[in-house]
Amino acid sequence: MRIIYLGIGFLALGLGCLGIALPVLPTTPFLLLSAFCFARSSQRWYNFLYENRVFGKYLRDYEKHEMSTVNKIRTLLLMWAGMIFCMWLLDFHLHLTIFLTLVGCGVSIHLLRLRNPKNK
């Protein structure tokens, strides 16, 4: 079972990394899945993920339901720019445009409800 968790953890981490660059692919759920799998398979990789300079702070803040205002703005701008670009690529097909808009609104509401870190 350890090997399966480790494999899923690496797959999720890879997809999370892709999600940083691809706005339609979510980053957070994959990073959380990766942390979950590493916690059950390898303390070394779990520590690596939480101590990583890119993902560590992101995961620790998300665990506390926090996100800085700068990160919220950056995330929302990149997400909506990516969504609009995807809609444009799909020639603003009605069903996909409605779906992407609803997903974007849901993610936006979620992000805006996260607290700002107290030490910033």
pLDDT in tens, 63-93: 888 888 888 888 888 889 888 988 999 898 9
* 52 sits in which H/E element: none
Q: What integer pLDDT is reported at residue 37 of this predicted model? A: 95
pTM (two decimals): 0.67
Q: How far is CA 105 from CA 17, 53, 79, in A?
A: 23, 29, 10
Phi-psi category of residue 91: left, alpha or beta, with phi > 0 → left and psi -120 to 50 → alpha: left
pLDDT in tens, 11-47: 999 998 888 777 667 787 889 899 999 999 999 999 9
